[in-house]
Amino acid sequence: MRILHLDSGRHWRGGQRQVFLLAGAQREQGLEPLVVAAPHSPLAGRLKTQGIASAAVAMRADFDVFAMRRVRRILSRWRPDIVHAHDARAHAIALGALIGVRVPLVITRRVPFVPKGRFKYGSRVARFIAISRAVGDTLQQGGVGAERCTVVYSGVPAPTVGTARDWRREAGWPEGTLLCGVVGAMTAEKGVAQLHAIARHLSAPTRDRLRLVLLGGAAHGADDFDGIPAYRAGFVDAIHNAMAGLDMLWHPSGAEGLGTAVIDAMALGIPPVAFATGGLTELVEHGASGLLATPGDVPAFAREVEQLVADDALRRRLAEGGRSRAAQFSVDRMVSGTAAVYEQVLSARATASRVT
């Protein structure tokens, strides 16, 4: 089977990581994945390093005619059995490139927002893969029939840790402080803007005991969030080593399709505190593998942090529960779930061809 993957992302985020893991696993299974990625992107670089077939196409807008033509030429030469687009821009470009071409199109949807536009979400898409039930629900609210939507949870590899990063030593912090990590794109939609507000709602003794480590975005070194000393480490490639040096994870995102950084944390035995939004409610079992606060309720988030800081036994219990919960979100399950979607799509196409 030949699969043409399209991903327009210019940065390394959860979606690009999933494309990389999926294409690598497919190649190991004897399939033929070809990934169309943005030129000079981290995804393109990693694919090249691993020897996974790729092509560079700049996708500058949703309906970039030049990109559509480039993808169309790749389609004509390579003749895939499936086209799989992994983000909204790649989705639009795939639709344009496939006009008049009878190759099934599969779309992975990663965001929990109700989609708009009949053309993009019409019958030309053979199947939508939603990374959580929350994402699947929003697709159906946007008019996508349940029969065209399959939930396949994102998966992360089992963590391998050489030496955990010693953030206390690197930042010059005293022993006995508790390290809270914030991992991912340092953007407002990921809740970074809430960090100051969360800190203000914590008691003075709790602020004195905490230190924040920000893994993602640009590296700026020392910082401060309303009395909590922080260290902006920037993008870190060896993420498991970096996260293994933390005591807890803060994930204050206001809208989350699933949250692979939270899976990573739980797999490492690092209890998360998050808002109960989107797919996070399917991932984190409150009180068993992490703590959840009412969406948007900053004082409630702060109360969960206070509880976790004060209760050593709770941190240990959540660490154990998190490890077992994270094991259910494996790369193998993501890959096999995606393969099942491909098989259903190709079987339906074969049936339709026989009928016509």
330-349 pLDDT, tens digit each: 999 999 999 999 999 999 98
Q: φ and ψ at 15, to 5 degrees?
A: -65, -45
116 pLDDT band, cuts 50/70/90, is: confident
302-320 pLDDT, tens digit each: 999 999 999 999 999 999 9
162 pLDDT band, cuts 50/70/90, is: confident
**Mean of the per-residue pLDDT values for the chain?**
95
Report the DSSP pairing between strands 178-183 and 149-151: unpaired
Residue type at 257 in one-letter notation: G
pLDDT for 355 equals 67
pLDDT-above-90 percentage for the chain: 90
DSSP code, position 12: -
For 167-326, CATH number out of 3.10.28.10, 2.40.50.140, 3.40.50.2000, 3.30.70.260 equals: 3.40.50.2000
Q: φ and ψ at 186, to 5 degrees?
A: -85, 70
62-88 pLDDT, tens digit each: 989 999 999 999 999 999 999 999 999
pLDDT for 352 equals 77
Domains 2-155+331-355 and 167-326 share a fold: yes
What is the C-alpha to C-alpha distance for residues 336 and 314, in angstroms, rounded to an integer? 35
pLDDT at position 186 over 80: no
Residue found by looking up tokens 């953007």 in the block: 187
pLDDT at position 294 over 90: yes
Write the burial class of residue 20 (CB in 10 Å: 0-12 exposed, 13-18 middle, 19+ buried).
buried
239-288 pLDDT, tens digit each: 999 999 999 999 999 899 999 999 999 999 999 999 999 999 999 999 99
Kindly state the helix (H) or strand (E) to which residue 216 belongs, with its residue range: strand 210-225
For 2-155+331-355, CATH number out of 3.40.50.2000, 3.40.1180.10, 1.10.510.10, 3.40.50.150 equals: 3.40.50.2000
What is the b/e burial string over 238-251, where b = at least 16 CB atoms within 10 angstroms of the residue's CB? ebbbbbbbbbbbbb
What is the C-alpha to C-alpha distance for residues 319 and 69, in angstroms, rounded to an integer? 50
pLDDT-above-70 percentage for the chain: 98
pLDDT for 297 equals 96
**pTM: predicted TM-score of the whole model, two decimal places:** 0.94
7-38 pLDDT, tens digit each: 999 999 999 999 999 999 999 999 999 999 99
Handedness of CA 133, 138, 141, 145 (dihedral sign): negative
pLDDT for 326 equals 97
85, β-bridge pairs: 6, 107
Instruction: List, edge to edge, every strand of the sheet that includes 228-234.
Output: 228-234, 210-225, 178-183, 248-251, 272-275, 291-293
pLDDT for 356 equals 59
What is the C-alpha to C-alpha distance for residues 49 and 343, in angstroms, rounded to an integer? 29
Domain boundaries, the chain: 2-155+331-355, 167-326
Q: What is the DSSP string of 281-317?
A: HHH--BTTTBEEE-TT-HHHHHHHHHHHHH-HHHHHH
Give Cβ neighbours of residue 73 (< 8 Å, ≥ 6 apart).
Answer: none
**Residue 265, SS3 per DSSP:** helix
Segment 227-235 mean pLDDT: 94
Segment 118-143 mean pLDDT: 95
